[in-house]
Amino acid sequence: MKKTTGFDRNTTRHWHPATQAVRGGTWRSEHGETSEALFLTSGYTYDDAETVAARFAGEETGMTYSRLQNPTVAMLEERIALMEGAEACRTQATGMAAMTTALLCQLSAGDHIVAAKAAFGSCRWLVDQLCPRFGIETTVIDGRDNDAWEKAIQPNTKVFFFETPANPTMDIVDMKHVCGVARAHGITSVVDNAFATAVLQRPMDFGADVVAYSATKLMEGQGRVLAGAVCGTEKFINDVLLPFQRNTGPNLSPFNAWVVLKGLETLDLRARRQSENALAVGKFVEKRVPKILHPGLASHPQHNLAMSQMEACGPIFSFILEDRKQAMAFLNALQLVDISNNIGDSRSLCCHPASTTHYSVSAEARADMGVVDGMLRINIGLEDPRDLIADLDQALTKVGL
């Protein structure tokens, strides 16, 4: 296999994320196929025994086993790295496999991690439940409070971990400040960028060391497969992440990698249109509900910070009804929008975080991060916003709003 002339990453690194999303990492076989080939293979064969020995010894490049390398997966990894402005990327089977790998590959018993309290339920579970079981100390803070990060630092602090916007409270973290504090103290900042992706926000441009993804969401974009990714320097990926990943095996399947490659081709288009639609729908919802948390609206307390970090607001926002009963009745009244706990999909989906995505988080932690019983989270898709507004209008009317 040869890389098509002109696709050497050293000469194409300057391409913008939208171009990388279509072209980056393309690696064509001798057939010159237009669309990326799907190498659905677990292993490889060799012409002679010396070749395989040289590959295992690292003296010769080439594939040896799909837990270690796979051409389709490698294309996706190179594409994501180029979109992100990162030196390297490795993909995992799910977003949670990516988060677990990004944290555990670099943490040991006796280390300390500082994390923002507003986070996806399973990310909070990693911090609250898993890390302490392995002797990793954790401190959870309000990620919106710039000073809280520095105050939480201990001599053994190794990692800052946060998402922005956060799921589902839409808290925004000031990346330039927080990643700067991390750098100044030799701490690795790990940013979960699932709500934005590289086309709307590139954390490394603000000083992030590691960017981790649920590629299940906007990247894949059409609700088909689960996937995850971790981006960082070549040194971090090769020396810290790869020994963990190669020996524990949280790898992404080539088939799923291929589906995500196809999804990335339309990411820029989808993310921007879904952001536009989310803004239009948000402006309507804002007039009808007690509270809305939408980074694209001036009513969001961190609207200016959000828009200084993001090119567009993204497809997701939350709003708060009076109580759980009214929130459930609203979901049940929806006709076009599906009741579903996924996000980033081209379909509009709405869910009740307290009983779904954040069910695994303790009631105290939920209350502390602001995931109240009346909260609903909505992902706005590619439908005509007029139809979405009509559906939300009738559902709000039905619950008396």
Ligand X SMILES: *Cc1c(COP(=O)(O)O)cnc(C)c1O
Question: Which residues of the shown chain bind ligand X in the complex (CB under 6 A)?
Answer: 94-96, 99, 120, 122-123, 163, 167, 192, 194, 214, 216-217, 226, 228, 343
Query: Considering the complex, what minimum distance in angstroms separates the CB of residue 96 from ligand X?
Result: 4
N- to C-terminal Cα separation, the chain: 60
Measured from the Cβ of residue 163, the count of other Cβ atoms closer than 10 Å reads: 25
State the minimum distance, in angstroms, from the CB of residue 190 to ligand X.
11
Q: How far is the CB of 167 from ligand X (least distance, A)?
A: 4
Residue 194 or 328 having the CB closest to ligand X: 194
Query: Based on CB atoms, which residue is closest to ligand X, 196 or 237?
Result: 196
Q: Residue 35 CB, nearest distance to ligand X (Å)?
A: 24
Nearer to ligand X, 124 or 273 (CB): 124
Question: Closest residue (Cβ) to ligand X?
Answer: 95
Measured CA distances, 21 to 261, 340, 355 (Å)? 8, 27, 35
Kindly tell me which of 71 and 370 has the beta carbon lying closer to ligand X: 370
Task: Considering the complex, state which of residue 122 and residue 169 has its C-beta at the smaller distance from ligand X.
Answer: 122
Least gap, CB of 217 to ligand X (angstroms): 6
With residue 97 as reference, give the H or E element that holds it.
Answer: helix 95-104
CA gap 276, 199 in Å, rounded: 14
Alpha-helical (H) ranges within 322-384 are 324-333, 363-369
Q: Whole-number minimum distance, CB 381 to ligand X, in Å?
A: 16
Toward ligand X, which CB reaches closer, 69 or 360? Answer: 360
Please say which residue, 70 or 214, places its beta carbon nearer to ligand X: 214
Tokens of 325: 């009963």
Shortest distance in whole angstroms from residue 382 CB to ligand X: 19
- Residue 239 in tokens: 């020396």
CB of 174 to ligand X, least distance (A): 18
Q: How far is the CB of 156 from ligand X (least distance, A)?
A: 25
- Buried/exposed 312-327: b ≥16 CB within 10 Å, e otherwise: bbbbbbbbbbeeeebb
Rg value, the chain, Cα: 21
- CB of 86 within 8 A of CB of 210? no
List C-alpha distances in Å: 209 to 84, 171, 239, 273, 290.
Answer: 12, 20, 14, 29, 38
> How many other CB atoms sit within 10 Å of the CB of residue 310?
20
* Number of alpha carbons in the 13 Å side-chain half-sphere of residue 336: 20
**340 CB-contact burial (10 Å; exposed 0-12 / middle 13-18 / buried 19+):** middle
- Give the orientation angle of helix 324-333 with respect to helix 385-398, to 10 degrees: 130
Q: Which is nearer to ligand X, 228 or 315 (CB)?
A: 228
Amino acid at residue number 31: H
Q: What is the nearest approach in angstroms of ligand X to the Cβ of residue 123?
A: 5
Cα 369 vs. chain centroid, distance in angstroms? 19
C-beta closer to ligand X: residue 216 or 309: 216
Residue 171 or 268: the one with the smaller Cβ distance to ligand X is 171
H or E segment to which residue 98 belongs: helix 95-104
